[in-house]
Every structure is written in C-alpha cells, then in structure tokens.
Amino acid sequence: MKKINWIKIMTGFVLLGFLVSMCGFKTGQLIKESALESAFLRVETISLNPAHLAGVSPISMEIRKLKSISVQYRQQSAKKVAGRAFNDQDSRPADVRVQPVLRLVPGGQSIGVKLNTLGVLVVGYHLVDSERGQASPGENAGIRVGDVITKINGKQMKSIADVQHMIAETTNKEPLKLTILRQKSQLRKTLVPAKDKYDRHYRLGLYIRDSASGIGTMTFYDPVTSSYGALGHVISDRDTGQPIQVHSGQIVRSTVQAIDKGTEGKPGEKIAFFPENALSIGSVNKNTPFGIYGHLKNDFDNRASRSSHALPVAFPEEVKEGPAQILTVLDGDKVQAFDIRIMNSIPQKYPATKGLVIKITDPRLLKATGGIVQGMSGSPIIQNGKLVGAVTHVFVSDPTCGYGVHIEWMLEEAGLKISAKHHERKAG
C-alpha cells in the first residue's frame, strides 16, 4: 500500500515538473519575441524622441510596445525585417546610429575672406642699421617666424598701429617685455629695440602682419541658426605656413572673373575679386583644420531660408564609391553643379581631414579648369540627395583628382549636431 502511494506521489511530481517546464518554455518564447520587437522598436523610438524612455517601468514599456506593434507591425514583412535585425545583433555587436535629421542649405558661392589676427603675426626678420652695426633685435631676443605678439609691456596688441605706438614711446634703449604665442604655448621675451642711425627711429627688426585675405567657397548654411561652414581646411599664413589665429573676421561676396587652368604639376586657380569696402555677409569666429565658421547675416540669401533648398546630411559610413556632384562657381557668381566620382571614402571614427578621394568627371569642368583648382576649396559634395562633404585639396600630379572632408567633422566644428547620434551595443 505504501509502495502504491509512493508511486502516485512520484508520478504527481513528474507531471508537475513537466507542466512547469512547459510554462517556462512558453515564457521564454514570449520574452525572446518581446526582445525581438523591442530591439527594433527601440531605435525607432530614440530617433523620434531620445528622452521618451527615461524612467519608464518595464510594465509600461510592454504596454506601449504592444500598442506600437499593433499599429506598426501588422504586416508580416515588417516582422521579417525585425527578425533579421535581431539575428544580426545576435551574431555580432551592433553599432546603431540614429539616421540624420539635420538639414542644411548647400553652398557653392564664391566668398572673400578677411581675417584679423589674434595679436600681430611675425612673418620675417630685417636688419636694423644702428651705430653698433647691423642686427635684428627681434631675432636676437628669440622671437621666431610664426610667433604671435599679443602684448608689449602688458598692453594688448591688436594691430600693427598698436606696435608702432609702443615703439614710438621707447627711449634710451628701454627693453620691451613681449608676451607671445608660439603654437599653443604662451612665452615671455625681452627685446631691446635698435635705433636706426639714419632716421633715428627705434626698430624691432621684425616684419609683422595683422590681417590676411583670400577667396574660397561656401560649403553649407543652417537656415535655423544662421551658422555656416566654408573652405573645409585651415587658412594658413602664406609666408610662415602657420595656421592663422583669428581675433575677428568677415566674409564678403566675391566674383569669379577668370580661371587659370590647372595642368599636371601646376595647380590652377580661380581669379576672383571683391572690393576692399565690400559689405560683410557674415562673421568669421573660428579657423580650424576643417575650415572657417561663423554666422551669416539675415540678408545673405533670402532663398537660403526656404526649407525646400535644404538637404539632409550623411554620416561618413553612408558615403559610397560612385557618382556624386559638387557645387561651385566658374564665372561671375553663378553656382553650378558638376559631376564627379567618389573614388574612396575612408572610414573615420575620429575627426580627420582627407576622408574622401574624388575625381572630376564632368567634361565642362575639365575643359574650363582642368580639374580641381585653388579657390574651389569648400565646394559642397552631394551624393544621393545628401550633403556628404566638401572639396579640400588637389593632387598636384593629377589635378583631376583631389581630397574631400566628411561633412560630419565640419558640423562638429560649427557646433551643429547631425541628430541624437549615439552608439548602442547589445549585451550577450
């Protein structure tokens, strides 16, 4: 009797264990299916409102998720897409980036750039013919070409006139205390001016400059913030080769009058003009490895404020080898589109120049310029209806080819965000 009861009890435990295991199996299926849908929905939700999930309980998540499933995923094909996305994430870590939402007006306009340096830039030495012979006091004091003089005797130097005024006050070989910027370091030097034996004026023995100008091409304009980016590369002093440290600056409209056609071994050039008293169309606040940046005035271009002219921007990984176009000016101020081919898009996780290799393919542009010419820097590159980058350099050995910069790095310098961009990695 006891044996029969023991058998019944054991049979009951086995049946109960089977039922529990069945429930566990079904619960596991539900969890896995829920995770599948949630993994796909999560990206879509973040793209619409990144802060929407903050502080949400698991239960409310499930309710919202199931409602979304009933609305968005009624068709079997959408479920298959979600399934494929989940399977891909299971097989390897996923790198998910929300699709860009920022839209910018592409440029292409020829612009004149006028910069005022931060302090005065030393661009060379000269000898002062004094009673003691010829010498350069600046060179003897350890001042180098490329240094920026920011203060003399504690007073801010903003222009050549400021320096001249300080020298005029010098008497009896009075030493001057100079504060200089050398790349990113601040140094102090003592300089004793020399008195020219002919005109009896004190001299530093330095050639200095307080401004620079040139031409380039507008890359983009944000109709919401009025921020712009241009050139795609840093502006350097023509004599020292050092990047110009900007105190202030402006951009103006310029007119292309002629083209000096490029050939192998000799880059061409846009010959453009802007009046000395041209009206400013925007400020220059930054001079960076990825171009110049600032804000445009409201009357820059009425058309630019229309959203219909704006294009979405592309992440570097969206850029493909193949056909594209650039916008630039060859005559007057008319912006035209020309065909190019993106030969290579270099993957870049961190900001870097020369991320694109491009080749001019448009017969009209090749006939007019021979390829990429100076003054074309900043010409926007468009592919598949998206702004992907800007022209920056020409190959001297082959002017039909050159480099471009990915637009993402220019936007970072301009303080613009492509979207609520983020990286997510799936655990397990």
Four-residue CA torsion sign, 23, 29, 33, 39: positive
Confidence of residue 414 (pLDDT cuts 50, 70, 90): very high
Report pLDDT for 286: 94
pLDDT in tens, 213-255: 999 999 999 998 999 999 999 999 988 888 999 999 999 999 9
In CATH terms, 103-112+212-414 corresponds, of 3.30.70.3040, 2.40.10.10, 3.40.1190.20, 3.40.50.1440, to 2.40.10.10
The answer, yes or no, to whether residue 365 has pLDDT greater than 50, is yes
First to last CA, the chain: 52
Confidence of residue 333 (pLDDT cuts 50, 70, 90): very high
Which segment of 51-60, 254-263, 319-328, 404-413 scores lowest on mean pLDDT? Answer: 51-60
CA angle (219, 223, 228) in 5-degree steps: 35
d(CA 258, CA 215): 13
In CATH terms, 127-204 corresponds, of 1.20.1630.10, 3.20.20.10, 2.30.42.10, 3.20.20.70, to 2.30.42.10
Q: Would you report the helix, strand and coil content of the chain in percent, each value rounded to 5?
A: 30, 40, 35
Query: Count of residues for the chain?
Result: 428
Q: What is the mean pLDDT of residues 101-130?
A: 93
Q: Fold identical between 103-112+212-414 and 127-204?
A: no
Report pLDDT for 35: 29
Which residues are within 8 A (CB) of 336 and not within 5 positions of it... i.e. 6 or more apart? 108, 327, 328, 329, 330
d(CA 213, CA 195): 33
Whether 47 is a known active-site residue: answer no
Which residues are within 8 A (CB) of 101 and not within 5 positions of it... i.e. 6 or more apart? 47, 312, 418, 419, 420
Count of other CB atoms within 10 angstroms of residue 66 = 12
Instruction: Name the residue ranges covered by the structural domains of the chain.
Output: 2-91, 103-112+212-414, 127-204
Q: What is the mean pLDDT of residues 281-309?
A: 81
What is the percentage of the chain residues whose pLDDT exceeds 90? 58
Residue 195's φ and ψ, nearest 5 degrees, are -95, 120
Question: Which of 210, 233, 283, 406 is flagged as catalytic?
Answer: 233
Report pLDDT for 359: 97
Mean residue pLDDT of the chain comes to 77
d(CA 396, CA 268): 10
Report pLDDT for 57: 28
Report pLDDT for 101: 73
Confidence of residue 417 (pLDDT cuts 50, 70, 90): confident
Question: Which of 129, 162, 239, 362 is flagged as catalytic?
Answer: 362
Residue with tokens 């879509």: 44
The answer, yes or no, to whether residue 91 has pLDDT greater than 50, is no
pTM, two decimals, is 0.71
Count of other CB atoms within 10 angstroms of residue 295 = 17
Question: Which of 147, 377, 379, 406 is flagged as catalytic?
Answer: 377
d(CA 205, CA 198): 15
pLDDT in tens, 9-66: 444 443 334 333 333 333 333 223 322 222 222 222 222 233 332 333 222 223 233 3
Residue pair 233/286 in contact (Cβ under 8 Å)? The answer is no
Whether 222 is a known active-site residue: answer no
Whether 233 is a known active-site residue: answer yes
d(CA 86, CA 80): 10
Which segment of 291-300, 304-313, 364-373 scores lowest on mean pLDDT? Answer: 304-313
